[in-house]
Amino acid sequence: MLYKVYVLYAKDHDKLFTGMTTSLGDRMLSHNSDTPEDWTSGYQPWTLVHMELFPEESEAYLRETFLESYEGQAYIRKDILPLFDF
């Protein structure tokens, strides 16, 4: 089983969301659904802007933690978001 660390971007709100899952398709549907108790529902639509694969959950967790940090968020904004035409 592969663990996916992913970063979503909500252009209209300039928000980033970082997560980890084994089923990215299901998570994307969840983030873009109308489930009111989900924090991400208030910032839709979400676009997948980055994903990395890891064989071990512990490795994925470390990467997710980094991408959620100030340095990780700066990396996404500086090096990843400019690759997209929003």
Q: Looking at the predicted structure, is the pLDDT value of residue 83 above 80?
A: yes
pLDDT > 80? residue 72:
yes
CATH code of 3-83, in short, is 3.40.1440
Model pTM above 0.75: yes
Which residues of the chain form beta strands (DSSP E)?
A: 3-10, 15-21, 47-54
Q: Which of 60, 49, 48 is nearest to 22 (CA)?
A: 60
Average pLDDT over residues 2-8: 98
Read off the pLDDT of residues 14-69 as tens digits, 9 standing for 90 and up.
999 999 999 999 999 899 988 767 788 889 999 999 999 999 999 999 999 999 99
Q: How far apart are CA 3 and CA 13, in angstroms?
A: 27
Instruction: Tell me if 10 sits within 8 A of 86, measured CB to CB.
Output: no
Reduced to 3 states, what is the DSSP secondary structure of residue 69? Answer: coil
pLDDT at 37: 72
Q: 50: which 2 tokens?
A: 């980055």
